[in-house]
Structure 1
Amino acid sequence: MTGINGAGQSTLSYLDQLKGMQEKKLQEDQKVTGQNELKQEDFLSLLTKQLAQQDPFKPVGNDQMIAQMASFATVDGITQMNEQFGSLNSAMTSNQALQASSLVGRDVLIPSATGVKKGEGGMTGMVKLPNAINNLMVRVENEQGQLIKTFDMGAKPAGDHRVEWDGKDDSGNALPEGRYKLKVSGMLDGENREFDVSTYANVNSVLLGKGDGNVMLNLAGFDSPFKLAEVLEVGQA
């Protein structure tokens, strides 16, 4: 509650007066500098003025001063910590980009069943099997979804297995370079199931993400980049 004491001073509580002075100071700073935050020196200046204008018969208690200073110190500490995290994130991203630059010109395994066939060569992928399969079948499709070739990989145990296509159709004709899709299926628990397939792609260049801390890889034959974190393996296809 607000009143006037015998000395003609306002009897607003310390915290209320300090809040009012902070708001006034903030408005003045915004008009002059456009800033919308108080710094440590602003807080100390306000605190000094408040202590000088306090009611001598009702001085500010130590607990009020400590609580106010602790609150400001906490906010200031969080602000500094956020700035440090931002600098650390920027440094880590730059370091990742530097390391990723060594991948340019190399093949990486990515989680995509669609891969790129080069020239007269074929295409290589990797299939992950949750269980042993007695008869593993591979279907190769072009970008239009047309079936190009089928071949049998035979029985395979659980785990990762290379899928190698020679780049030819069922008649033995070499197909042109381009994007093709590998589909691998087999009988599991009495049902025909398709399994996850990854393919190899060549790294053209490395770039930083749009402020999100991700390092991206431009891959040959792909319109959109892939995240470095998505790479499953580095090596020759």
Structure 2
Amino acid sequence: MSNDINAASSYMDSLRWSEQNKTTQSDKKNDALTQEDFFSLLTQQLSYQDPSKPADNDQMISQMTNFTMAEGISGLNEKFDMLSASMTSNSALQASTLVGKKALLESDSIDFGDDQLAKGSIIAQSPVEKLTVSIYDDSGQLVRQIDMGAQAAGAIRFEWDGKNGDGETMPAGNYEIKAEGSLNGEYTSLPMATFKNIDSVNVNGANGIIVNTSAGAVKLSDVAEIA
């Protein structure tokens, strides 16, 4: 008999706990005013108004309009938050496909790998004559000089097969590179951009997508070309 009473008592305790838990959960509901709450407040306001000075119709309409606008803006904020989260996820997914590719960045160095062509671009604001590309090793020794002659204005593409002036293949690594030519009658250096390996990418909130290359981290918006 005692066991039956204890079991019944435990069962009743579990019911009370369940009911208490439901009450606690209901207390945690959103405290935001709904349209039903607004009309309840409006009805209460009308019941307390001075009969000799009834509420102006324009004021009533204005209150209803303001509430509707506030409710609409709140809904829009929720939608924008969802859209922002979705766009961030899509950006991360798209950015992951860049790993292993090459990014064209403004640089005074060029990467050479085994059995690969090292590529880049020379940026000329106007036509250039006697254009030469010089490549140096890490000790500053001239490895190769490529004569490109006269070129039109714009992005001038070039390639290096990794060989020195004697036709010997150089070891893989990073080499300094310079472009010089006659620009408007003056012999000068020209800015260059070379392809760098993309090792990884970061989705960095306000900064957008960050591309980590062999030359360092840069914004994707600063990348001229992906190859």
**TM-score by structure 2 length?**
0.66
What is the correspondence of 1:162-173 to structure 2 with a 5 Å cutoff?
Answer: 162-167=157-162
Amino acid at match of 2:104: L
Stretches of structure 1 that go unaligned for 5 or more consecutive residues are 1-31
Measure the CA separation in 1 of the matches of 2:89 and 2:128: 44
Distance 1:46 1:147 in 2: 85
Q: CA deviation at 1:63?
A: 0.9
Work out which of the two has the higher radius of gyration on C-alpha atoms and give 1 or 2: 2
Deviation at 1:200, TM superposition (A): 0.8
- In the alignment, which residue of structure 1 is the partner of 2:224? 232
Q: Which residue of 2 aligns with 1:207?
A: 202
Letter in 2 for 1:73: T
Deviation by residue 1:120-171 (Cα, 9 ceiling, x = unmatched): 8663211232322111133446679x57455432111223222334446678
Over aligned residues, Cα RMSD in angstroms?
Answer: 3.5
Per the TM alignment, residue 86 of structure 1 is displaced from its structure 2 partner at its CA by 3.0
Question: Aligned pair in 2 of structure 1 residues 44, 233: CA closer, same or farther (>3 Å)?
Answer: same
Deviation track 1:87-119 (CA, whole Å, cap 9, x = no partner) reads 223322322332332332222323444443335
**Residue number among 69, 75, 78 corresponding to 1:80 in the alignment:** 75
Q: Which protein has the bigger helix share?
A: 2
The whole-number CA distance in structure 2 between the counterparts of 1:111 and 1:80 is 45
For structure 2, the residue ranges without an aligned partner over 5 or more in a row are 1-26
CA contact (8 A) 1:120 1:176 kept: no
Check if 1:129 corresponds to 2:124: yes
Match of 1:22 in 2: none
Q: 1:222 aligns with which of 179, 190, 215?
A: 215
Q: Between Structure 1 and Structure 2, how many residues are aligned?
A: 198
Q: Distance in 1 between matches of 2:146 and 2:209?
A: 37
* Fraction of identical pairs, as percent: 38
Deviates more, 1:179-188 or 1:198-207: 179-188
Instruction: Give SS of 1:155's match.
Output: strand
TM-score norm. by structure 1 comes to: 0.64
Aligned partner of 2:99 among 100, 104, 116: 104
Distance 2:152 2:83 in 1: 44
Asked if the contact 1:140/1:183 (under 8 Å) is kept, the reply is yes
